Amino acid sequence: MNNKTEKLEALGGLKVLECATVIAAPLCGRLLADFGAEVLHIETPIKGDHLRNFGFEIDGINPWWKTYARNKKLITLNISKEEGRKILYQLLEDTDIFIENFRPGRLEDWGINIDELQNKFPRLIIVRVTGYGQTGPYANQPGFGTLMEAMSGFAEMTGEKEGMPTLPQFALADTFAGFYSALSAMFAIYNRDILKTQKGQVIDVSIWESLFSVLGPNAMVYDLTGQPPKRMGNRAPTSAPRNTYKTKDNKWIAIAGATQTTAERLFKVIGRSDLINHPKFSDNSKRVVHVNELDDYISEWMQNHTLEEASSILHKEDVPMGPVFNIEDIMNDVHAKAREMVINIFDNGKNLHTENVFPKLSKTPGKIKHLGKDMGADNEEVFKNRLGLKTDQINQLKKEGII
């Protein structure tokens, strides 16, 4: 990497060590790596990260691994053994952030005590990601994102009114935990380096609380009304109209008409200007109460227009709308192309489309340098060049199952 590139990286010089698997904690490291941090991802020898076997693999490519492990350096190390712990401590000597997601007590079982790590490396920031957090009655239970999507209240308030609670098809809870982990790590860096406390700290991130915290003021709503949020399909208890509507050509359009001005523009578009001053629809709170009737009026208009026709009319009249896209639609969309939401990366002899780095920084943009690499791809650089281990030492460590 040349000096010019280093200067353009928001987190250039930041060193991160990641002992974590699957998505939640590794996403934290991935976000930091996207913006220039050196993230060293540790996998157990032979078995590797469980994410390598997540979903499916085609032509040797696992899209989840390629995405969440991108921009990281990869080594194998068994930290449950004494020799592996010694190497871990060597690596931690100049590390800024240590990310781990073992079940509470596991590191201690291996002789790695967090209090001792803080004493030994006082500037180290330790990010601990678990299902339920480091404390509490559930702390030692296995915590997967699916369970947290159920327990957070998300599934209970998602789905059709008379249907079953609905879980997302993607790692929603893990993703928010990854976001919170990266954000809190940078809070701690600011405290240590900008406020000059020179002290690291331990960050306790639970996947459960990560998703719970973004679901809105559910606790206060319940406190005030005595009613928990209920499943409403695509509707919302806070605004109307708000739904997806089927077009003449069997496509779908989402409409958001919460503000009075947007609702009035929509009423004019569908030929129902009489609804503007109608006692059932004259303001948002009334529209929420009478949403069934309102949706019928909008659906009737939508079913007489194709997606292209409806989109053109609604856009022209400044009615907030969006077609329901799949990933193919997004990859072919002119705005998504202009924003480079999906880019092409050449990896292992193949051109692969992948989600671009986000958010977009004007002075220090992130960059995809490479996708997730093979297991132990950076062993030689780290063990030999950085730590100074000799070839015979490395071979012995391999023989003993340490690396």
pLDDT at site 5: 47
**Claim to verify: residue 58 and residue 182 sit in the same structural domain:** yes
Q: Is residue 344 included in any domain, yes or no?
A: no
Q: Give the pLDDT confidence of 193-211 residue by residue, as tens digits.
A: 999 999 999 999 999 999 9
Q: Do 124 and 156 lie in a common domain?
A: yes
Residue 77 and residue 7 in one domain:
yes
pLDDT at residue 7 in the model:
57
Q: Is residue 76 part of a domain?
A: yes
pTM assigned to the model: 0.93
Q: Are residues 388 and 298 in the same domain?
A: no
Residue 142 lies in a domain: yes
Is 338 part of any domain?
no
- Total domains, the chain: 2
Q: Is residue 250 part of a domain?
A: yes
In terms of domains, do 363 and 295 share one?
Answer: no
Same domain, 104 and 37: yes
Say whether both 130 and 256 belong to one domain.
Answer: no
**What is the structure's pLDDT at 224?**
97
Whether 286 is in a domain gets the answer yes
Per DSSP, the residues of 120-170 read: H-TT-EEEEEESS-SSSTTTTS---HHHHHHHTSTGGGSS-TTS-----SS
206 and 298 housed in the same domain? no
Residue where a domain stops, chosen among 330, 345, 363: 330
β partners of residue 42: 75
Structural domain that includes position 363: 3-214+354-399
Q: Are residues 359 and 324 in the same domain?
A: no
Predicted confidence pLDDT, tens digits, the chain (403 residues)? 334 444 579 999 999 999 999 999 999 999 999 999 999 999 999 999 999 999 999 999 999 999 999 999 999 999 999 999 999 999 999 999 999 999 999 999 999 999 999 999 999 999 999 999 999 999 999 999 999 999 999 999 999 999 999 999 999 999 999 999 999 999 999 999 999 999 999 999 999 999 999 999 999 999 999 999 999 999 999 999 999 999 999 999 999 988 999 999 999 999 999 999 999 999 999 999 999 999 999 999 999 999 999 999 999 999 999 999 999 999 999 999 999 999 999 998 899 999 999 999 999 999 999 999 999 999 999 999 999 999 999 999 999 999 9
Helix, coil or strand: residue 297: helix
Q: Is residue 341 part of a domain?
A: no
pLDDT at 1: 37
Q: How far is CA 208 from the centre of its chain?
A: 14
Q: Say whether both 179 and 51 belong to one domain.
A: yes
Upstream peptide bond of 241 is cis (omega within 30 degrees of 0):
yes
Give the CATH number of the domain where residue 64 resides: 3.40.50.10540
Supply the pLDDT for residue 41.
98
Structure tokens at 322: 């969006």
C-alpha to C-alpha distance for 322 and 257, rounded to whole angstroms: 12
Is residue 337 in a domain? no
Is 174 in the active site? yes
Pairing verdict, β 342-347 and 321-323? unpaired
The CATH number of the domain where 308 resides is what?
Answer: 3.30.1540.10
| Same domain for 159 and 14 | yes
Q: Out of 174, 204, 249, 347, which one is annotated catalytic? A: 174
361 and 247 assigned to the same domain: no
The mean pLDDT of the chain is 95
Scanning the structure block, which residue is given the tokens 């500037």?
123
278 Cβ contact list (under 8 Å, min separation 6): none
